[in-house]
Amino acid sequence: MIIESIELQNYRNYESLKLSLGEKNNIFYGDNAQGKTNLLEAIFFAASSKSFRFCKDRDVIRFSEEEAHIKMILQKKSHKNRIDIHLKKNSVKGIAINGFPVKKASDLFGLANVVIFSPEDLSLIKDGPKERRRFVDLELCQLNKFYLHNLARYNRVLMQRNRLLKDIAFKPQLEDSLSVWDEELVKYGQAIIRLRREFIESLQDKLIRIHKNISGGREELLLSYEENVREEAFSEAIIKARDTEKKQRITLVGPHRDDLLFQINGEDIRKFGSQGQKRTAALSLKLAEIELVKEKIEDYPILLLDDVFSELDKKRQNFLLDEISDVQSIITCTGLEDLIENRFPIDKLYYVEGGKIECP
């Protein structure tokens, strides 16, 4: 799977851009705040219908403009697909595949599989549970439309249920309707729990092997799914928590409170791991993610690397570069020193400045 070309109009700081990409390593370099990450965001948007920055659609439209467009040509095995996204400040976005409009954004998922790796991901282990759930959700939504369906509905039910818990404090008679939302929350939540558990189990063997290679065999990294509630116990748990939830006016039970546990040689590195161990674990996790996607779709995903080389030491840089040799990579950096020093093969080189991209 490769991206052949991408076109942008009024997207972030890009007024107009037409760009062809190489099949392997595409390097975009330049100073900060020039538009490098905006390009990666646009690619991710075309693949998933949303930004990895989790902003509103209208926020990606160029300042003082009312509309923005993304067009991406994707080659997947023996055929090509064209993805068009039309964003409007005061209307819902339009999505078309090969010129045919699609009604649901979920129809886009699975057409292009991308893995994004940024400096924020290197903080995945030390950050809070929300960031680790986000990692799982981003990948599972691309791989499994059933998961996307259940996650969207779970989040909607959760929002409604939390609103009801707040209203009950002023109108106690509303409690009778809480059981309806409980049933919906359990229905969608159980599916999420099951699919997350399967996803983590699929990652585990790959993660152990990759991390052992990076650490020279000195460490074993184990990843566990810390579910807030077991799938089969969800219904009972939410009934038991009702009185406490009414007092706190928020839903306390469900996969929206899940976490991931990372252990090296039996020790929780979220609490006790060194900075180097946490970064190595995050790098291993991303590389395991690439392998898992390849296994699921029988093709390599597209890799977006957003200025991560400056955050890695030479050993981890070399390991990452070796592991992505077969993947189409779109890489951003401020300078080329690390790539040149590591003799990294560059397919295409681009200079980014002020929302314009040139081939030196």
Annotated binding site for ATP: 30-37
- Sign of the four-CA dihedral 97, 100, 101, 103: negative
Cα separation of 158 and 87, whole Å?
28
Spatial neighbors of 256 by CB under 8 A, at least 6 apart, are 133, 154, 155, 158, 228
Spatial neighbors of 219 by CB under 8 A, at least 6 apart, are 211, 212, 264, 265, 277
Collapsing DSSP to helix, strand or coil, 346 comes out as coil
Collapsing DSSP to helix, strand or coil, 100 comes out as strand
Q: Which of 258, 295, 302, 313 is nearest to 135 (CA)?
A: 258
Structural tokens at position 250: 């928020």
Per-residue b or e along 195-214, where b marks 16 or more CB atoms closer than 10 Å to that residue's CB: bbbebbebbbebbbebbeeb
Cα separation of 242 and 251, whole Å?
9
Q: State how beta strands 259-264 and 221-226 pair.
A: antiparallel
Half-sphere exposure of 67 (CA within 13 A, CB side): 8
Binding-site residue set: 30-37
Rg over alpha carbons for the chain, rounded to the nearest Å, is: 22
**Which uninterrupted H or E stretch holds 288?**
helix 275-297
Spatial neighbors of 120 by CB under 8 A, at least 6 apart, are 131
Residues 130, 142: contact at Cβ < 8 Å? Answer: no
**Which uninterrupted H or E stretch holds 348?**
strand 348-353
Q: State how beta strands 329-333 and 302-306 pair.
A: parallel
